[in-house]
Structures are given as structure tokens and as C-alpha cells.
Structure 1
Amino acid sequence: MSVRLYVGNLPKDVVEKQALIDFFVEAGESATTKVIKDRKTGKCRGFAFVTVPTDEEADAFIEKYNGQSFMDSPLKIEKALPRTKGDDKPAEASSAKGGSKRKRSGGSGSSKKQSSYGDASSAQPDPRWASELEKLKDMLQQQTANV
């Protein structure tokens, strides 16, 4: 069974597949490489995938190349997470940049349980913005009192 490896922290310039193949030349002919590129610009999106035939080869590949410098960037190599049903990309790819794209449902953009806006006890404001929120509430009360 082949094992797919996530190769992250690639430069966001033009990274060619052949450059990565040449870098991973000691991994042997059995490793296949795919650089993920932006559809519009053709530039590297900052990650790639390498597929090796066995779990043992995957572990050896990670041990050898994780942290190695490629085009002045230390590579981050780990086993890729399996694709989730309905996604066109593996789950690891979306979390590689520290964010994830979620399908929006119900217009809230969150998969958490939705609460009523009128129920103030269920949602607490971010403490960093609490004072600003109080100012806005006061301004709103003043406007509604004047009308």
C-alpha cells in the first residue's frame, strides 16, 4: 500500500516538479512527486505531495528530509491525512496554512450550534473588544431614545 507524504513550507515562487525530484533523488525511483500550484498564477501554493510505496520507506523519507533546506526554506514533511469525502483536496492541505475552508451552512459560517441573537447569556463578547462594544451599545441607545 502506498503512503502519501505532505511536503510543506515550500517557497511560493516557481517551484518545478523536476527540482523537487532532483532534491529527493536519493529516495529512489519509487517515489512520485506532485507540486500543488495555483490555477491562476501557476506559482507553487507552498506545498507538495510525495508518494512512496511502503510505510517503512515513508518513515525513512521523513527522517531523512524533514527539516532539510530546499531553496532556503526548511521543509516540513509528514504523513498526509486522508482525503475527506466530498473534498477535492486532502485535509492536510487546507490546514497547512493555519486555516481551513469550511462549507457554510445556514449563513452563519460556523458548524457550532446556532443561538438566538437576543439571548445575551449564551454568547459573551471578546474581552479585547468589550469596551468598544459598550460604547456602541450606548450610542445605539442614545439614537433610539432620540427617535
Structure 2
Amino acid sequence: MSVRLYVGNLPKDTVQQEELQEVFGEASNSFSIKVIKDRKTGTCRGFAFVTVPNDEVADEIIEKYNGQTFRENALKIEKALPRNKGKGEEDSSKPEKEESSQARNSRPNKQKNKEATSSNKRRGKSNKKSKQPATSTNSSSSGATQPDPRWADELAKLKEMLSAVEK
């Protein structure tokens, strides 16, 4: 079964398949190379994929060429992660942080509002809600501040331990 290898840390200018074939040609005769390029500029995005016939050849290439310099850059070679179904090679290389608009729309409103506020701030707009003063949950008739309810039990235990030590 064929194995795909990720070849990273390539220079971000024009990298040709032939150049990489010369580099990996010593290890195996049967392999294919796909240099991933930017759609607009046509320059290398900094990585490529090499498909080799089996695990033994893959391990040999990783051992031999991982860390080797190519145009003053140390190559990073490892076995590629499986592709996502329905997406091409370029899509599978995108960071996992990106998400679809469908996933963004399924979030709770509170998180959507935070994102809208931060994007408005970047555009120079302000959110009317953000100008309202924060309401305090610490008000009581005695004037003492109340602990955060998430930590109230822990605080009560600490107070008991301190009073026991003082006695």
C-alpha cells in the first residue's frame, strides 16, 4: 500500500518537482511528488507530499532526509495524516483552527456576540452593549463583599481551617 509523506519547511519561492525528485531520487525510483502551491501567486506554500510504494521506503526516506538542508532550509519529513473526505490536498493542509460557517452558526449566542464585538472593534465600530457599566453581584445590605459563588464552598472550608488553627 502506498504511503504519503509530508515534506515541510520548503522555501516559499518557486520550488519545482524536478528539484525534489533529484533530492529523493537516490532513495527510490518509484515515487511521486506534489508540491503545494499558492493558487494566486503560483509560489510554493512551504510543503509538498511524496507518495512512496510502501512503509519500508517511507521509513528509509524519513531517516535519510529528515533534517537535511534544501536551499538553506532543514527539511521536515514525516508520514502524512490521512486526508479529510471530499477535500483536496491543499484543503487538508489548512490548520485545524479554521472552521466552517456552519460550525460558527451553531455556537451559543454569547460566543457569537464576543466575536461580533471583537470584529467591530477591529473595524473601528463599537458595540452599544459594551459601553454599559458592568453590574456588580457583590452588593449587599451589610456592605461586605460576597465571594464568587463558584468558590464559596472552598472559601468556607478555608475559613473553618483558619479558625481551627487560630484556636
TM-score, with structure 2 as normaliser: 0.61
> What secondary structure, in the 3-state scheme, does the structure 2 residue paired with 1:62 have?
helix
Contact 1:8 1:77 in 2 (8 A): yes
**C-alpha deviation, 1:90, in angstroms:** 6.6
Deviating beyond 6 angstroms after TM superposition, the runs of 4 or more aligned structure 1 residues are: 136-139
CA-to-aligned-CA distance 1:33-77 (integer Å, 9 cap, x gap): 111111221100110010110111111110111111001111111
Is 1:141 the equivalent of 2:138?
Answer: no
Q: Does 2:110 match 1:117?
A: yes
Q: What's 1:34 paired with?
A: 34
Instruction: Give, in whole Å, the separation in 2 of the partners of 1:52 and 1:94.
Output: 23
Secondary structure, counterpart of 1:48 in structure 2: strand
Contact kept in structure 2, 1:83 and 1:90, CA below 8 Å: no
SS of alignment partner, residue 101 of structure 2: coil
Query: How far does residue 101 in structure 1 lie from its aligned partner after superposition?
Result: 3.1
Contact 1:12 1:43 in 2 (8 A): yes
Structure 1 stretch displaced more, 30-39 or 62-71: 30-39
Aligned residue number for residue 23 of structure 2: 23
Q: Give 2:21's aligned amino acid.
A: I
The alpha carbon displacement at 1:114 in A equals 2.7
For 1:2 and 1:61, locate their aligned partners in 2 and report how far apart those are by CA, in whole Å.
14
Paired amino acid for 1:76:
K
Which protein is bigger by CA-based radius of gyration?
A: 2
Q: Answer yes or no: is the 8 Å Cα contact 1:7–1:76 preserved in 2.
A: yes
Counterpart in 2 of 1:104? 101
Deviation of 1:13 after TM superposition, in Å, equals: 0.5
Distance 1:50 1:40 in 2: 23
The one-letter code matched in structure 1 to 2:93 is A
Preserved CA contact (<8 Å) 2:5 2:80: yes
Aligned length: 119
> Per the alignment, in what secondary structure is the counterpart of residue 84 of structure 1?
coil
Distance 1:76 1:139, change over 3 A: closer
CA shift digits 1:58-114 (9 cap, x unpaired): 11110111111001111111111111112223776223xxx6432121644xxxx73
Q: CA RMSD in A?
A: 2.8
**Structure 1 residue ranges without an equivalent (≥5):** 124-135, 143-147
Asked if structure 1 preserves the Cα contact closer than 8 Å seen for 2:28 and 2:57, the reply is no
Q: Which runs of 5+ in 2 are unaligned?
A: 115-126, 134-167
Could you say what secondary structure the match of 1:94 adopts? coil
Change (3 A) 1:33 1:106: closer
